[in-house]
Amino acid sequence: MARKIGGLKQLGAKTPLPKSPSEAELERVANPHQDTAYVTRFTCPEFTCLCPVTGQPDFAHLVIDYAPRGWLVESKSLKLYLGSFRGQGTFHEDATITIGKRIVALIEPAWLRIGGYWYPRGGIPIDVFWQHGTLPDGVWLPDQGVAPYRGRG
């Protein structure tokens, strides 16, 4: 029998991969350090979706940084949400910005940025960057650490 943890539906339970991002349920947990300005980073080096025109798979390395206020993104629900894109036809820009906006709507962070570092499609890598809010003063923010695409060179 699945057990619920702190009112969360997915954490601690066997949860199937949602069929689509619209069916996926992102969950949040209370930030235990609301009095502290800091950044949380999620890295998804193997994000996949489908080209909406050809149906061929697209691959990206996503980096999501955010400065929380009252809420944190629950990581299992984020993994399931990101995985739900695997069968979806979506352009790089749409996928990257949709993910960022969905997180902002859920947790209302002080600041969020998402970098979508997409592997080449048609010989051209497409990188997509989106930011919401203002990074709090004094917060250490490392580089996202993803090198520009260089092919075999």
By annotation, the residues acting in catalysis are: 51, 58
Q: What stretches of 5-150 show up as alpha helix (H) in DSSP?
A: 75-83, 92-107
Give burial (CB, 10 Å; 0-12/13-18/19+) of 15.
Answer: middle
**What DSSP character marks residue 25?**
-
Cβ atoms 60, 86 nearer than 8 A = no
